[in-house]
Chain A
């Protein structure tokens, strides 16, 4: 059961179109649609809202502004972001007010009837501008310091310095933000939300309405993709639905269009990281100093943790003897940037991958050799934040992929190809991932699960995990089915709802299966314990009847009693009973067939004030080699081949995990090549739909794409010795960008390749032109 390639629990309904997403819910009775009216400026003071014309429209049923909201501020960490603009406008297209209509197709028409009086101010739109204005959101409490950077750097033979710059990224989940709220009796409200974080959504809705938390239920059946974009920012959207539904006492639905979603919601943080590095003749880094600088956008959101994860991943797979790592998040007048797969980790790791490419070019060495010289070795080396890096799989991952991808031969072939000069130039690069698994805020590393065992032997399992395609439901079902020795299809993971599982953490940080799977395992063990004790009584010949009852409250697991093939077996006596028979026996003896458990990831704790403790439970690791071809006339980038080698411990479902790996790689490949967020000089997002914002298409996926997993049975610190997979392979897409750097370096006689990310054709062509000009 564990390690089996079973189908995704919703695969059948997905492929037939039967799966129900928010906007697929049938409209109930007098249900209304909500329109959002947004700011035409990026910075300013809102003086007046003119909604008279809109209210006069036959299909406009009401208008709501900040003053209609009890607690208008929300924030995952800092309670500062307005649900609707009250007076200060933070960014272009920030939501100012809501209206309701009985006709969805009238939304655009009504929207045009609003106008605002605004005292417009000059916006701060870039990191350098924010730096000058000293607009900070967050500064790292204490830098990560190892050794004496200045001393080592001063005496070093080779030095480089510069700024690594990468752009943001639109999540482009296919299902835009959506919610529908139903008013219930006694002031209660039921909100169906496309949210990665139902507990947060419940809280924000309750506070916006000014009702206690127990009057709000947030339900998440599934999302049409999340990628972090629905971790915090789904909550205000759900609040819009709740506010209108409450006011009109009817169901209210808010469905953002793709254009609205892209303009209103936050994205991956752009970073500009200043660095100084020294290294020896072999390419080994001797000292590294980095100041990570992120564009947080208008509000704090999760920016502080995202910056910190950038710091935590600055060294990526490479051991640093001496370093000084610091960071800051700036406040700008851009949309409030938020969680996105990797959560700052990619922006940190890409910095050192870029540096390693530069070192290789400087020393005229192959970048693989340089990387191999720098990777963590053994089990005792410590990270820049003081955690000992255990279960180090990096050396076999590097060496294994080097040979399986035929790196050496292909490198020679590329040398020959590039020597010919036919308007094309190729490059190759291997990069790595060593992604820390755990929320760095310790309190989030908890989960709870509820397991209901029915009399026909089937189970319903509920946790706080939300399903967004990543297969967390399937994995939880596999864990429970395996634990009870029953069929996969006899376990159904149910709709996520805050009335079953509360105070849950977001399905984020790749931890969904880890913590919710562990909680479900523990909850199912409560039932299993009782059934084990009951089975022992039964096998011992004890009788129960109308007068005598088997008394079991807690029960206890026993290695002699195994659950297998829908049977419960006593190994010592070879006696067995059908699982369903035992379940019925339990029921008639009034033994509980329900299990609830709470789980917390053990022995975590990191202090950012003193930079000590254990930040991560373990690390998911992997390597990737990418080969690209650039067109020298146009700068176009083509990814010819990608080979990936990953350590996922003992994968629960290798089919699902493989899909996570290919999906993450291609998503990252898009981030570093074609996905270019383009803004007007007033801070308006111009690339706000797929016509203008280019995520990879099926033609862009690597022409040759190999994915393999390394064997690793030793991840004892996680449920069924598996490893988290959601974010770690995202970092492997960075190799597409380092391969572009490598390709350009073939056309450079002396100049160090210096490109930003994404490597669009314009970026590539400009750099090719620059390096060719001697």
Chain B
């Protein structure tokens, strides 16, 4: 059992015992190491000023560098990682090519969001280079969705990205001697446990140990990417004293593709889902495209989004209509349960025992068609007002199969059995849709809040059903 967190920052080795192991990453960088280029603005992973680059040793190699929000992460989550901060990319006397184009194109004004943008764009350059891809304005935007800037209007930043000469960009793994770093980190086997006063974190190297720990420590919070719990803790609404993390379980990061479908591991990131499911579930993949920011998707997991059990969790309506299986592991046995039974009906109530962990989710490949819609105040990087998911089969102008789910209009994501039956009851035409749409208000219990009034949410659900009809039927005349 190791009792310290070991990581590298800008090529330098750090071994953390005690208090420092529990610090938010941004605070450690700024206040302990004096790396004040990394800025903390929102402390909730929504603005990107704290963005740094991270590579993790999984198995016997480093995963590719990803951009992450250092404000919500904790040092214990970075065991066996290499972090590169803005200071690690270049200095004024020896700038990184991304830094140079930012200077030339006036990509920085006040300078506060700039280090985060620099890291995110350096990550982009590294990715594009590794995958032999060219940059386009849209691609640049996609990599920078998680970085807010209040000064420039972004136009100079997009220009900077377009001016970047990828040939001049060195691989991030070559900036410092990653090979040498890997040779040390790869040798770190076994469990890690760190304690400081009333704080305690355990990082097992297999799921069985995790389950055993969970049985002994019922109050321990299971923290994965900390994209939600890190925020809640930062805002003083949760004390993360006892933590169990699956970060050192290499097998949990996988998405296994079989003929029948995909088994998505507990640590598989949303970004990986977006990429791996693109071919078979293009609708889901493009919904993930406007889900959160790259920084969040790089570290947040599909299973985290699922077990968080929020009624506005963006992936849940899809998972429900896809009727995925949830694989749970407990101290004595494993079991599988359909997602539609996993949610028990009340707010955040799941069919999971205190000593159980969601090991994976299985999505079957089928020949159904999907439609997924997300409505939010801002299209990208915003929490939904309403989500809609439909999986269906049509035959001769009639729905032969349909699963429907709405998010954001009740205490949990709602399946709509009554509407599903109605939709299959007659030929799929505008008369049918209009009669069904009329029923919607009586089936929903939305709240009024800053993301929309209940009347608005109700109307959106009605309109999304119209939109579903228009798109499926290809009607020229929009119903709204």
Contact = CB atoms under 8 A, between A and B. Distances in A.
Interface stretch (B33-41, B183-191, B360-368, B399-407): B33-41
Interface in A226-246: 226-227
Given A259-B235, A634-B373, 14 more contacts: A8-B106, A16-B95, A17-B115, A21-B36, A26-B34, A175-B39, A422-B476, A423-B467, A678-B449, A692-B383, A692-B450, A696-B154, A697-B378, A701-B158
A705 B141 CA distance: 14
- Please give me the 8 A-B residue pairs with the lowest Cβ-Cβ distance, nearest first: A17-B37, A469-B110, A224-B112, A14-B111, A666-B153, A108-B236, A469-B109, A662-B153
A172 B110 CA distance: 12
A662 B152 contact: yes
Given A17-B38, A423-B478, A666-B153, A674 B459 contact: no
Nearest to A111: B236
Contacts of B155: 662, 666, 701, 705, 707
A174 B153 contact: no
A665 interface: yes
A765 B450 contact: no
A698 B236 contact: no
B135 to A, nearest CB: 14
A766 to B, nearest CB: 7
A624 interface: no
Contacts of A13: 92, 111
Contacts of B154: 662, 666, 696, 698, 701
B286 to A, nearest CB: 14
Contacts of A258: 41-43, 47
A7 interface: yes
Contacts of B231: 691
A16 B44 contact: no
B110 A175 contact: yes
B127 interface: no
Interface stretch (A290-298, A599-607, A682-690): A682-690
A500 interface: no
A105 B150 CA distance: 28
A10 to B, nearest CB: 6
B378 A694 contact: yes
11 contacts: A11-B108, A12-B99, A14-B108, A15-B107, A633-B466, A662-B154, A662-B155, A676-B450, A689-B44, A691-B231, A761-B375
Interface residues of B, number: 86
A687 B42 CA distance: 13
Interface stretch (A75-83, A124-132, A456-464, A652-660): A652-660
B42 A422 contact: no
A736 to B, nearest CB: 12
Interface in B348-395: 373, 375, 377-383, 385
Given A12-B95, A174-B47, A678-B450, A698 B147 contact: yes
A469 B151 contact: yes
Interface stretch (B83-91, B246-254, B257-265, B416-424): B83-91
Which secondary structure dominates where chain B touches chain A?
loop
Given A174-B39, A633-B463, A15 B99 contact: yes
Interface in B25-82: 27, 30-31, 34-39, 41-44, 46-47, 49
Contacts of A666: 152-155
A90 interface: no
Contacts of A176: 41
Contacts of A111: 236
A175 B92 contact: no
Given A16-B86, A676-B450, A224 B459 contact: no
Contacts of B303: none
Contacts of A112: 236
A622 interface: no
Contacts of B453: 762
A42 interface: no
Given A8-B108, A698-B141, A421 B478 contact: yes
Contacts of A471: 109
A21 to B, nearest CB: 7
Interface string A661-673: 1111111000000
A636 B103 contact: no
A700 interface: yes
Contact of A674 (B110, B114, B378, B464): B378
B480 interface: yes
Contact of B46 (A222, A226, A691): A691
A678 B36 CA distance: 33
A763 B373 CA distance: 20
Contacts of B36: 17, 20-21, 23-24
Contacts of B156: 658-659, 662
A221 to B, nearest CB: 11
A103 to B, nearest CB: 11
A638 interface: yes
A697 B113 CA distance: 13
Consensus secondary structure, chain A interface:
loop
B106 A11 contact: yes
B163 interface: no
A111 B381 CA distance: 31
B27 to A, nearest CB: 7
Interface string B440-480: 00000000011111001001100110110010000011101
Contacts of A761: 375, 377, 385, 452
A669 to B, nearest CB: 8
Contact of B377 (A8, A105, A676): A676
B452 A21 contact: no
Interface string B205-216: 000000000000
Nearest to A109: B236
Interface string A70-93: 000000000000000000000000
A172 B91 CA distance: 28
Contacts of B235: 108, 259
Nearest to A25: B36
Contacts of A678: 449-450
A739 B317 CA distance: 34
Interface in A252-267: 257-259
Contacts of A470: 109
B157 interface: yes
Contact of A659 (B151, B450, B480): B151
Nearest to A19: B111
A189 interface: no
B145 interface: yes
B91 to A, nearest CB: 6
A667 B381 CA distance: 17
Contacts of B110: 173-175, 222-226, 468-469
Contact of A15 (B114, B378, B460): B114
Contacts of A24: 30, 36
A13 B115 CA distance: 10
Contacts of B470: 423
A18 B37 contact: yes
Contacts of A643: none
B47 A690 contact: yes
A477 interface: no
B102 interface: yes
A632 interface: yes
Contacts of B147: 698
B162 interface: no
A695 B145 contact: no
Interface in A264-297: none
A10 B111 contact: yes
B38 A663 contact: no
A173 B145 CA distance: 18
B104 interface: yes
B478 A656 contact: no
A18 B107 CA distance: 16
